[in-house]
Structure 1
């Protein structure tokens, strides 16, 4: 079969590189700073990064969604009151 290279790069190569590269970059940078010494420290860093990512994505997905799931700041949120479907 034929390989669609641009689709492969966007759909597979970039996400896989991000899923492998960003945790490696996090561990390497903290190792260079001197915060990671053992495998246990590296796993604590990875878990902490996962929890922070989960919290940020949850906050973004719930607090910053407006009408039609559009990303908006909470202070710019416009709430339509009254009968649904009417402005």
Structure 2
């Protein structure tokens, strides 16, 4: 896998969210993408969140534990976790 940046991971995660939930993030959001709250800002329900996590696991070849899923509240947290896993930290 090519080296990932926080920005590229965030963009890919946003694309995955849009594909699964139909919620498309605006090109110029009111706050940074990383600060977008998955449940509050995007109104993603728990079932959709599980689908998003599974798709992210498949896309990036990582494993996210169920206990970790509960702590992922923002797009930035998702992206940082992906980077940690893909960079082997």
> TM (normalized to structure 1)?
0.28
Structure with more of its chain in helix, by fraction:
1
> TM (normalized to structure 2)?
0.28
Q: Greater relative contact order: 1 or 2 (C-alpha under 8 angstroms, separation 6 or more)?
A: 2
